[in-house]
Homo-oligomer: A and B are copies of this chain.
């Protein structure tokens, strides 16, 4: 069988490493190149000793990679840099999956406002598919550019979008309280990711409407609802490596059980969404090291809001697992290939 040739930009980030891990055992994939700004010319397993024998590729710089051929190129570069380095591949008709935010926000001026930078490639914003297969499978399959969603966005949108899109169901006063492992903050050195600072600690940050995933979530919720939707979002860092748990409060004209039914129906054929009963709420442990998003709905009654609980592994369904799911869709491979168990 001819293998699909894969290139990865930003391959030494945590999401990059997770991509390499998945693709190294993906039966239909082979590496065309791995690139890294910070570590060009080093071997991959010299950066990540655990990858010895799993991936021994020599790293290229993004510039050296620019001329290489591939069937699909992933980018784990930071925003702005990502669209810049993906441009030559897109121009040659190579399918790309961008794990940065560069192609997520349809409105270039909103991008500029939230990301404090002019969009590097505004002409291509319109053609990018938002890489949430449960909502945009067809668009992803046809797209040249797939904008892989943010980790928090994936976790918060999956329980809400089918309710927002459901005729006759109203969803209001949305508050998402998310708890994330430390890998969500990346591999860059910073005091808040120092072991002694993060361990035995829980820290809120960017609460309210200041986190960049707010604009992305509101865009997708508004599209689903066919009307402008606003939310409050509070991310927190908890002392674990990976995983996000979101506890989402909202007002609704349905009961928790009815919402769960709507979600069950919407996700009946989805390989990576699991609905749970309220007596068995999602946990991070339940999804860690898998590509699943687990969801349940409870609460309500006595004038109180409903509570959706959802969980993903931020490096898998929240990033690299979903990116490979998107690649599988774009290249006509089996959607679950390389992502089982």
Chain A residues engaging chain B, CB cutoff 8 angstroms: 14, 21, 24-25, 49-50, 52-54, 173, 175, 177, 179, 181-183, 187, 189-191, 193-205, 207-209, 230-232, 234, 236, 238-243, 245, 247, 249, 274, 276, 280-290, 292, 298-305, 307, 309, 311, 340-341
Residues of B close to A302: CB separation below 8 A:
209, 230
Closest CB-CB distance, A183 to chain B, in whole Å?
Answer: 5
Closest 5 CB pairs of A and B: A201-B285, A189-B189, A208-B299, A182-B195, A25-B341
Can you offer 16 A-B residue contacts whose CB atoms are under 8 A?
Answer: A14-B196, A177-B247, A187-B191, A187-B196, A189-B189, A195-B241, A199-B239, A202-B238, A203-B285, A208-B307, A209-B299, A230-B303, A231-B304, A232-B307, A234-B307, A249-B249
Residues of B close to A247: CB separation below 8 A:
177, 204, 207, 234, 236
Residues of B close to A190: CB separation below 8 A:
189
Closest CB-CB distance, A215 to chain B, in whole Å?
Answer: 13
Residues of B close to A234: CB separation below 8 A:
177, 247, 307
| Chain A, interface SS category | loop
5 more contacts with CB within 8 A, not counting A202-B238, A203-B283, A232-B299, are: A194-B195, A195-B239, A199-B199, A208-B304, A209-B304
Most buried by B among A175, A195, A200: A195
Complex Cα distance A299/B242, Å?
A: 27
Complex Cα distance A14/B241, Å?
A: 20
Known contacts A234-B307, A304-B208, A340-B25; A194/B201 CB under 8 A = no
Residues of B close to A54: CB separation below 8 A:
341
The answer to whether B50 touches A208, judged by C-beta atoms less than 8 angstroms apart, is: no
The answer to whether B284 touches A202, judged by C-beta atoms less than 8 angstroms apart, is: yes
Oligomer: number of copies: 4
Residues of B close to A50: CB separation below 8 A:
285-288, 290
Complex Cα distance A193/B173, Å?
A: 34
Complex Cα distance A54/B336, Å?
A: 13
Q: Which residue of B lies closest to A287 (CB)?
A: B50
Residues of B close to A230: CB separation below 8 A:
302-304
Complex Cα distance A281/B197, Å?
A: 15
Known contacts A209-B301, A304-B209; A194/B187 CB under 8 A = yes
The answer to whether A240 touches B305, judged by C-beta atoms less than 8 angstroms apart, is: no
Which of B49, B240, B311 meets A280, CB within 8 Å? B49
Complex Cα distance A36/B124, Å?
A: 50
Most buried by B among A53, A231, A309: A53
The answer to whether B189 touches A191, judged by C-beta atoms less than 8 angstroms apart, is: yes
Most buried by B among A199, A234, A276: A199
Known contacts A204-B247, A247-B204, A284-B202; A241/B189 CB under 8 A = no
Residues of B close to A207: CB separation below 8 A:
247, 281, 298-299, 307, 309
Closest CB-CB distance, A293 to chain B, in whole Å?
Answer: 12
